[in-house]
Every structure is written in C-alpha cells, then in structure tokens.
Structure 1
C-alpha cells in the first residue's frame, strides 16, 4: 500500500488525486491529522487514518502495511521540523516500507539563507542514514507563493518588498503529477534533479505579468530588509517567521532559486505550467 501524508494539504491532496488516476483506490492510504476532512477520499475507497508527526503511535497505525510512504514536509521550522520528519522516517521504516519519499526543495542546503532549506537538507541526511531506499523530490518553488508575495499590490498598484533574484516558480499540479508517477512507477531514486518550470522570474517580472493580467499598472518598490521585517512584525508575524521571509529574499538574491532543469517536463511528458498561467489562475480565483 502507498501511504501519503498531509493529504488534506494542497500538495498532498493533489498527489492522491493523481494517484487515483493511476492505481486502484484500495492501494492508497492517507495519513492526516483530521480524518473528517478526508471524508471525500474515504468515499472513493482510499484508506484514511489519523497520523500526526508529533504522535508516533498514530503514525504507526497510519503507516500499517505500507510498501511506500510519501512524507510531505511539515510547516514547522528548525529543530521541530527536522524532528517531525525524522519521526515519520523512523516509523515508516518500522512499518516495513521498502521505500520512503519526501517532498524536498530545489534549494535544499545546510548553508541556505532561507531557513526551511536547511531543514530540508537535514531531512535528506536522515533519509540517507535510514538504510531504506528513498527519493527526495527536489521541488521547485511553489508558484502559489506568488500571490502571497504580491500581497496588496493587486489593490494598491505597488509591489513592496526587498531586493530579490529570479525564482523557478513551479505549479503544485505539475509537482503532484511527478510525485504520483514516482510512486506508481517506482521511479526516481535518491535525490532528484531540480523539478522546476522552464524559466526563472524575479519580482520585476512578476509585477509586469500581474499588470498585464489585471490591466492596471503595478509598480515594483524595493525596500531594505530591516524595513520589510519590521512591517511583517507590525502585521502580527512572529520574529521567527519574519526572519524566514527576509531570508527568502536574501537567498533569492544569492541565486538559490534561479536554476531551471528539464527533468520535470520529461517526467510529466509535457511543458510545465508557466508562471503566467499559474498567476492568471490564482488571480482569477482570488477575485
């Protein structure tokens, strides 16, 4: 049985939906913190069990009978994130899974300026040390994040953020399809090449695309890192989260997210969704 964690989240649910087009529902199980939110999957024949990275006993039940386990990265940071991922790896191994997959990131590195990338690198190290066959899916930066970065710019006409660099924005749908293929065909061993779209675009480019899509000018305004951090805290973010977002811009300036690779297109058999198409869909749904 293939077990997918985090199946109530955007990526995890998309992966399960694509798996359902490739293998029988009875061969799929999901591990979710709230089984009630996965009722639709249960009705389709998917095994739904509660599983929480902070509760090893629940994971053991959720992973029972697993041949493969896909660990979708959590939304925690630092030591907490790595601890949760390692717990999931350990329980998957104890459950007898012959292969463990993990949704990593193209910029995974212990020296990244963006804190989540350090967590991904530590999790990849734990996978290597587990002794179980593994696949670390080095996903491109989620295109869905662009709408968050735009913030109020669609209303104010001003995209205010620190200096940045090009990013390989990649759609959840494409990454979910690649993960479903990797699970159902048991392909992609070890750490994958970067799974990205075909272009890297900075915020100047995003502002230009958004201007065209909304038919109104959006001006890019660069502010110092410290000013941006203070504004995030003033809007209620914790200092840890504010530092994380500042690190995102620092990492992009250093070129951590600007690589493009043909692997994703090869796996899914078509060109990945462009940022323009992803942003168009996001703007339309936000209206």
Structure 2
C-alpha cells in the first residue's frame, strides 16, 4: 500500500489524483489531520485515516500496512518542524514501511542562504539514518504566482527585490513526478533533483506576462529595505517579509540556478513553462 500525507493539500492532493489513474484505490491510503476533508477520496475507495506529525500513535495507525510512505514537509510555522519530520519518519519505520519519500527542496543544504533548506537537510539526514530505503524529492520552487509576482495585472509591473536565476516548477508537474516515482519499477534512491530544464528570473516572468496580455509588463527592482517597509505597511509581519526577502537574496548568488533533466524524463515531456503557468492562472 502507498500512504500519502497532506493529501488534502494542493501538492500531495494532486499526487493522489495521479496515483488513482495508475493503481487501484485499495492500494492507496492517506494520512490527514481532518478526515472529513478527505471524504472525496474515501468515496473513491481510498483508505482515509487521521494522522498528525504531532501524534506518533495516530501516525503509526495511519501508516499501518504501508510499503511506501510519502511525507509532505510541514507547513506549520509555529512548530518545531524538524522534530515533526523526525516523528513522521520514525512512525513510518515503526509501521514497517519499506521506503519513505519526502517532499524536499532544490538547493537543500546545511549552510545555505535560505533558512528552510537547513530544515530539509536535517530531515534528509534523519531519513538516511532511518535504516530503510528513502527518496528526497528536491522540487524546484513552486507556489502561488500571485504571491511571487504581486498584483502585476492591475499595476502593470512586477515590483520585487532584486533576484537571480531560480528554478520554478508547476505543482502539477511535481505531483505527477512523485506519483511516477511511487509507481515506478526502479525506485530512485536518495536525493532526486526535480527542476525545469532551465532557470528563470522575474524579468522572464514579466516578458511572459507581456506576451500573454499584449501589454508591457515592467520588472521593477525595489530596494530590499524599501520592499520590507512596504510589506509591513500592508500588514505583513516584518519577520514574514524578511523571510521572503531571504529567498530573493539567495537567488542572487545563483544558489537556485542549477537544473536537472530528471523531471522531464519522469514526465516524458518538458515541464510546464512559466508562460503556460501564467496562462493557466489567468483562466
């Protein structure tokens, strides 16, 4: 059985949808904090059990019978995320899982300019010491285009701090790749880089948006402290603004510019381009 956590979220929810096209629903289970939100999966024959990274006993129950467990990285900003991940890994091992997969991130390392990457590195280290086979899905950046680009449709500009090249993936492609790995005949071992074939910049997004809309969309570079001040004036906590700023700062050193062909190989096609993603978001 394949068990997936975070299956009511965008990324792993899409992974389960892909799994349902490849294996019988009876071979799929989900571990979710609120089973009521997974009723649509239960109605299709997927096993739904409650599980929380803060409740080891519930996790072991939700992982029971698993051959593979796919763990989504925690999004709880108030928690000790590394401890949560270790709890989930230990529960999967205790439940007898033969392989553990984890949604890591491109650029993961201990000494990196973007704080979440050290969390992923600590999680990967615990996976490596777990005694079972493991795969870290090192996805390129993904997320909400509105948050990344700001209100460019109304302002005609992408006004953000200076950036450098970074890998941006569509979550649908990341989910499809995860499902392909879970159902593949030859499991991928250890860290797996899942990035597009080439990095992009916010200037590339501005050019793609201009092409899409037929009007010029400008890329405006906002000085770091000016941008943080603007975010806080709009109600964003300063700590959150500086956290986001660290991502832009990290791209400037080329930390996220490296690419890999594995994602395209798993998909059997090129990943969705930023132009395709912008067009999809506009619909």
Q: Same fold (TM over 0.5)?
A: yes
Per the alignment, in what secondary structure is the counterpart of residue 242 of structure 2? Answer: helix
Residues 1:79 and 1:40: Cα distance change in structure 2 (over 3 Å): closer
In 2: Cα distance, 1:237 partner to 1:53 partner? 27
In 1: Cα distance, 2:282 partner to 2:109 partner? 32
Name the TM-score, length of structure 1 as normaliser: 0.94
Q: Which runs of 5+ in 2 are unaligned?
A: none
In 2: Cα distance, 1:85 partner to 1:234 partner? 34
In 1: Cα distance, 2:78 partner to 2:245 partner? 16
Residues 1:78 and 1:224: Cα distance change in structure 2 (over 3 Å): farther
Counterpart of 1:28?
Answer: 28
- Is 1:75 matched up with 2:75? yes
Kindly state the Cα deviation for residue 231 of structure 1 after the two structures are TM-superposed.
2.2
Counterpart of 2:208?
Answer: 209
In 2: Cα distance, 1:79 partner to 1:39 partner? 27
Q: Which runs of 5+ in 1 are unaligned?
A: none
Per the alignment, in what secondary structure is the counterpart of residue 220 of structure 2? Answer: strand
In 1: Cα distance, 2:234 partner to 2:149 partner? 16
Residues 4, 30 of structure 1: 8 Å contact kept: yes
Kindly state the Cα deviation for residue 77 of structure 1 after the two structures are TM-superposed.
4.6
- Is 1:252 matched up with 2:251? yes
| Alignment map for 1:1-287 (pairs within 5 Å) | 1-77=1-77, 80-142=80-142, 144-185=143-184, 187-192=187-192, 194-284=193-283
Kindly state the Cα deviation for residue 210 of structure 1 after the two structures are TM-superposed.
0.9
Kindly state the Cα deviation for residue 79 of structure 1 after the two structures are TM-superposed.
6.8
Root-mean-square deviation (CA), in Å? 1.5
Kindly state the Cα deviation for residue 78 of structure 1 after the two structures are TM-superposed.
8.9
1:211-237 CA-to-partner distances (Å, cap 9, x unmatched) read 221222221111121222222223333
Kindly state the Cα deviation for residue 126 of structure 1 after the two structures are TM-superposed.
1.0
Per the alignment, in what secondary structure is the counterpart of residue 69 of structure 1? Answer: strand
In 2: Cα distance, 1:207 partner to 1:220 partner? 6
In 1: Cα distance, 2:41 partner to 2:236 partner? 34
In 1: Cα distance, 2:159 partner to 2:114 partner? 19
Per the alignment, in what secondary structure is the counterpart of residue 123 of structure 2? Answer: helix
In 2: Cα distance, 1:116 partner to 1:35 partner? 28
Residues 19, 180 of structure 1: 8 Å contact kept: yes
Q: Detail structure 1 runs of 4+ shifted over 6 Å in the superposition.
A: none
Name the TM-score, length of structure 2 as normaliser: 0.95
